[in-house]
Amino acid sequence: MTQPLERDAIYRRRRFPREVIETCVRWYLTYRLSYRDLVALMAERDVRVAHTTIMRWVLRYVPEYEKRWNQRARAVGASWRVDETYIQTRPKTGYLYRAVDKEGKTVESLFHGRPWDCGGDGLLPPGGRLLRTAVAAQDHPGWP
């Protein structure tokens, strides 16, 4: 006798199959399509879904996907560098800091309106990690 497929608990009691939900969320994140564009793409595949339903899927499943992806993410090696870029946009200008490993993959990033001052020692904030929030940056003694 065949064993039934094990269903993921996050998709229980959903009207649409897992593949439809994952496809919509993946296309939304990857290609930056609007919810209404996704409705049109799903209609081409004979799946009738409302744009608000896709919005709810994105809000519901993206944090869960991130949590699962981070569990499987490879560890950052001992060798990585911080890259600083000044970005000028219309509503605000600031500095983009990216921590990049030796393979060129972005480890972490921060956008802030003021430049980061290492205090002459060339070190990042305590803990050796790039800042996660601007609030943490302002609490550091090397911040101007």
Give pLDDT tens digits for 4-55: 555 678 888 788 998 999 999 999 999 989 999 999 999 999 999 999 999 9
Per the prediction, the chain carries an average pLDDT of 76
Asked whether the predicted pLDDT for residue 119 surpasses 70, the reply is no
| CA–CA–CA angle 29, 85, 106 (5° rounding) | 45
Rounded to the nearest 5°, which phi and psi values hold at 18?
Answer: -55, -40
CB atoms closer than 10 angstroms to residue 137:
19
Helices and strands: H and E segment counts in the chain: 4, 3
Provide the H-helix boundaries in the chain: 18-31, 35-44, 51-72, 134-139
